[in-house]
Amino acid sequence: MRSYLDRGYSVVKMKIGGASLAEDQRRIESVLSILQDGQRLCVDANGRFDMDTAIAYAKALQQYDLFWYEEAGDPLDYELQAVLRSYYTNPMATGENLFSMQDARNLVRYGGMRPDRDWLQFDCALSYGLVEYLRTLDMLRQHGWSASRCVPHGGHQMSLNIAAGLGLGGNESYPDLFQPYGGFPDGVKVQDSFVTMPDLPGIGFEGKGDLIKEMRALSD
């Protein structure tokens, strides 16, 4: 976590649910102890909790000022997500495994998500194309949601460029994963959790020297 903070990130994320609740609380408190003013922590359960476990975690996490509590249960279990709002008043996030406008609509209709604080993580690069994602954004507006509450989950160049172009609330970033496809174009640095997009054509891959090198090796 320190390595990400040192690179300019102000919001970091950790997985939960792989250990006991008590151990996860110890891990969370350990990270919170190193955060400075303006720095926040997200936690992500990767959809592994049943209702009782999701509620138990919600009660325990309520005491922390987390940026969000992500995907507590199965992505299609809208009842579980809706029940959590009774136990967790801080921001929640979900939606990374929903790809159609209809699934997104069911989430905002029945999942108890709150447009004043919660986050929607539909991955614009996986949502059956940009046209379908635009349909989702239009549906969200009709239900009182701002595009600024959308933060695509994918963490790759295509979503980053779409998020910037559509004025979304941000885009997750995995600078050390999925190489050479992950990360940013050469020379792009994170400053206060923001990046400046390079003046390049395409979706960002074109500015990655390590990816170009890999492509050339594959074509030889």
Strands 40-44 and 92-94, sheet pairing: unpaired
What gap in Å lies between CA 81 and CA 109, rounded to an integer? Answer: 11
**Contact predicate 70/121, CB 8 Å:** yes
**Contact predicate 21/63, CB 8 Å:** no
CATH code for 1-94?
Answer: 3.20.20.120
* Structural element, H or E, at residue 155: none
Q: Which is more confident, 157 or 98?
A: 98
Percent of the chain beyond pLDDT 90? 75
DSSP conformational letter for 23: H
What gap in Å lies between CA 174 and CA 135, rounded to an integer? Answer: 27
Active site positions, annotated: 15, 153
How many angstroms separate the Cα of 217 from the Cα of each of 53, 155, 178, 214, 220?
Answer: 48, 25, 18, 5, 5
As a whole number, mean pLDDT of residues 211-218 equals 88
Q: 1-94 with 98-220: one CATH topology? A: yes
| Residue count of the chain | 220
Model pLDDT for residues 69-128, shown as the tens digit of each residue: 999 999 999 999 999 999 999 999 999 999 999 999 999 999 999 999 999 999 988 899
- Point out the least confidently predicted range of 42-51, 140-149, 196-205: 196-205
Per-residue pLDDT, 82:
98
Q: Which is more confident, 209 or 69?
A: 69
Sheet containing 119-120: which strands, arranged edge to edge?
A: 11-15, 40-44, 68-70, 92-94, 119-120
Q: Whole-model pTM?
A: 0.94
Model pLDDT for residues 10-31, shown as the tens digit of each residue: 999 999 999 999 999 999 999 9
> Exposure string (b/e) for 66-100, b if CB count within 10 Å is 16 or more?
bbbbbbbbebebbebbebbbeebebbbbbbbbbbe
| Burial label, 199 (beta-carbon count in 10 A; 0-12, 13-18, 19+) | exposed
Per-residue pLDDT, 197:
87
Per the omega criterion (within 30 degrees of 0), is the bond before 185 cis?
Answer: no
Q: How many CB atoms lie within 10 A of CB 57?
A: 23
Parse the chain into domains and list their residue ranges. 1-94, 98-220
Per-residue pLDDT, 2:
96
Per-residue pLDDT, 179:
81
**Residue 203: pLDDT over 80:** no
The token pair that represents 31 in the structure block? 């990270």
Model pLDDT for residues 160-196, shown as the tens digit of each residue: 888 999 999 999 998 888 888 888 889 899 999 999 9
Model pLDDT for residues 35-86, shown as the tens digit of each residue: 999 999 999 999 999 999 999 999 999 999 999 999 999 999 999 999 999 9
The CATH superfamily holding the domain 98-220 is Enolase-like C-terminal domain (3.20.20.120)
